Amino acid sequence: MPKTVKSMIEEANAAVPRISIDEARKLIAAGDALIVDVRDAPELEKTGRIAGAVHVSRGMLEFRADSDSPYHAPEFRKDRPVMVYCASGGRSALSGKLLKDMGFSTVYNLGAFKDWVEAGGSTEGAFDPGM
């Protein structure tokens, strides 16, 4: 039976734990966590991003995360925890599952950017469109 978006997100949510805002803050404070915003560039232009997050649109994630890719981003290391977020949690779930499939062992779905903002999480407005 072919997969649907709903079934793929359910599978991703089963494979990638959701992390609470408080747990995410602790992980960030501890040091080496990578925060990845997988929304599209126009979304970031409107809202900003979590302070310190790198922007990698979902369509480029495999290329940025793969150390053998000419598009690899050095921030992606398999020895560090990764937290992924988007606008509502669906793209971040799928992205987290993809990273786990690529061998990243500690991956969390932070969920929705708006939840971070509403909880008073630190944000920044500028972003690097080349990332």
- Spans of the chain, pLDDT less than 70: 126-131
Closest residue by Cα to residue 73 from 85, 81, 61, 84: 61
Which domains can be identified in the chain, with CATH numbers? 5-124 (3.40.250.10)
- Helix, strand, coil percentages in the chain from 3-state DSSP, rounded to 5: 40, 15, 40
Quick one: pLDDT at residue 125? 82
| pLDDT for the residue numbered 32 | 86
Q: Between β-strands 34-37 and 82-86, what pairing exists: parallel, antiparallel or unpaired?
A: parallel
- Residue pLDDT, tens place only, 76-95: 999 999 999 999 999 999 99
